[in-house]
């Protein structure tokens, strides 16, 4: 899947979620904003209540999407037989799609009225969704191969280029200018701070200062615009990789702790969902079957 096809793929998934949400709100906005006591008299109550033709259907479809989203991604990730079926990151994106649209449908299935053991499942679902958003942020901070495999620290270091060779072979600079450019891409230990946020902004400010210094040195040596842009791009790439290396261990540890929160909530949600479905069937709610 090339970049253009991948963008279309993501756009289609996003569009489906937006269209589904828009259609549900268009159909049921008047019903959902009606108070719980008065909904029984609303003309859409028969269709949109949790046991109604649409409300019940949204619950079934939403639950199916969440279960399939979890099972498909786990199967692709854990079983070697599925390892050649597309890139892992594309499966993750489909998992996110199913586990975003699914909870939306379940939310409207409840018609914003839930209590008892079902409330535990609902809030577990909310916790899973929110932790999934956080997990997605942590996931994209960890450098990965094109297939979506997590890169090791040594693999990230191997991505670093050799600016010194480029400067020596392609551009004529004095020794002092060489030293200044090479120093600009070294990791600065003096900006370390125990607070991650403070350290991040200090590092960001230091990187901007380094880029300005490199541009100034290149202009001083009257380097052509084409070569100047080449060196600046190389420096930016090195700075970006330095940031990734610094964040890698932190994000890997955060990802381990994230699983501690994400998986238990998902299990609680699924177990209570199964109980809810079983009780519903026992009481004779069969939807259209």
- What pLDDT score does 143 carry? 59
Q: Residue 38 burial by CB count (10 A; 0-12/13-18/19+): exposed, middle or buried?
A: exposed
Q: What is the DSSP letter of 1?
A: -
For the cut 70, the answer to whether the pLDDT of residue 80 exceeds it is yes
Query: Who's near 68: CB < 8 A, 6+ residues apart?
Result: 98
For the cut 70, the answer to whether the pLDDT of residue 208 exceeds it is yes
Question: Regarding predicted confidence, which is higher, 271 or 233?
Answer: 271
Greatest mean pLDDT among 21-30, 69-78, 80-89, 108-117: 21-30
- What pLDDT score does 189 carry? 45
Nearest to 168 by CA among 158, 159, 178, 176: 178
Q: Rounded to whole angstroms, how far apart are CA atoms 104 and 28?
A: 14
- What pLDDT score does 21 carry? 93
Full-model pTM:
0.64
For the cut 70, the answer to whether the pLDDT of residue 181 exceeds it is no
Least confident piece of the model among 59-68, 127-136, 179-188, 202-211: 179-188
Q: Confirm if 73 and 89 have CB atoms less than 8 A apart.
A: no
Tell me the CB-side half-sphere exposure of residue 287, using CA atoms within 13 A.
14
- What pLDDT score does 191 carry? 46
Radius of gyration of the chain (CA): 26
Question: Regarding predicted confidence, which is higher, 232 or 26?
Answer: 26
Nearest to 40 by CA among 107, 287, 48: 48
Question: Regarding predicted confidence, which is higher, 150 or 220?
Answer: 220
- What pLDDT score does 149 carry? 53
Task: Locate the domains of the chain by residue range.
Answer: 3-33+44-152+252-282, 153-247
Average pLDDT of every residue of the chain: 76
Q: What percent of the chain has pLDDT over 70?
A: 70
Residue 96 pLDDT class (50, 70, 90 cuts):
confident
Residue 15 pLDDT class (50, 70, 90 cuts):
very high
What token pair was written down for 87? 């890139």
Q: What percent of the chain has pLDDT over 90?
A: 9
Nearest to 264 by CA among 128, 134, 133: 128
Q: What is the mean pLDDT of residues 160-180?
A: 62
Nearest to 86 by CA among 9, 175, 160: 9
């Amino acid at each position: 899947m090339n970049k253009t096809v991948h963008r279309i793929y993501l756009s289609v998934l996003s569009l489906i979620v937006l269209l589904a949400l828009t259609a549900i709100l268009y159909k049921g906005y008047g019903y959902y904003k009606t108070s719980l006591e008065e909904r029984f008299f609303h003309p859409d109550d028969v269709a949109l209540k949790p046991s109604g033709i649409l409300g019940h259907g949204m619950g079934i479809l939403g639950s199916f999407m969440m279960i399939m989203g979890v099972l498909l991604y786990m199967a692709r990730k854990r079983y070697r037989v599925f390892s050649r079926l597309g890139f892992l990151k594309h499966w993750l994106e489909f998992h996110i799609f199913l586990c975003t649209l699914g909870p939306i449908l379940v939310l409207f299935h409840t018609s914003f009225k839930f209590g008892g053991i079902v409330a535990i499942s609902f809030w577990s679902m909310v916790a899973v969704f929110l932790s999934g958003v956080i997990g997605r942020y942590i996931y994209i901070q960890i450098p990965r191969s094109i297939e979506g495999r997590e890169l090791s620290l040594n693999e990230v270091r191997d991505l670093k280029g050799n600016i010194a060779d480029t400067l020596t072979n392609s551009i004529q600079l004095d020794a002092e200018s060489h030293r200044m450019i090479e120093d600009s891409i070294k990791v600065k230990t003096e900006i370390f701070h125990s607070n991650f946020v403070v350290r991040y902004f200090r590092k960001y400010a230091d990187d901007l200062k380094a880029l300005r210094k490199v541009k100034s040195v290149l202009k001083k040596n009257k380097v052509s615009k084409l070569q100047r842009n080449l060196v600046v791009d190389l420096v930016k790439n090195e700075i970006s990789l330095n940031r990734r290396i610094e964040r890698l261990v932190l994000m890997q540890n955060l990802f381990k702790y994230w699983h501690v929160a994400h998986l238990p909530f998902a299990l609680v949600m699924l177990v209570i969902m199964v109980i809810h479905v079983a009780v519903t069937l026992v009481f004779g709610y069969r939807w259209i079957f």
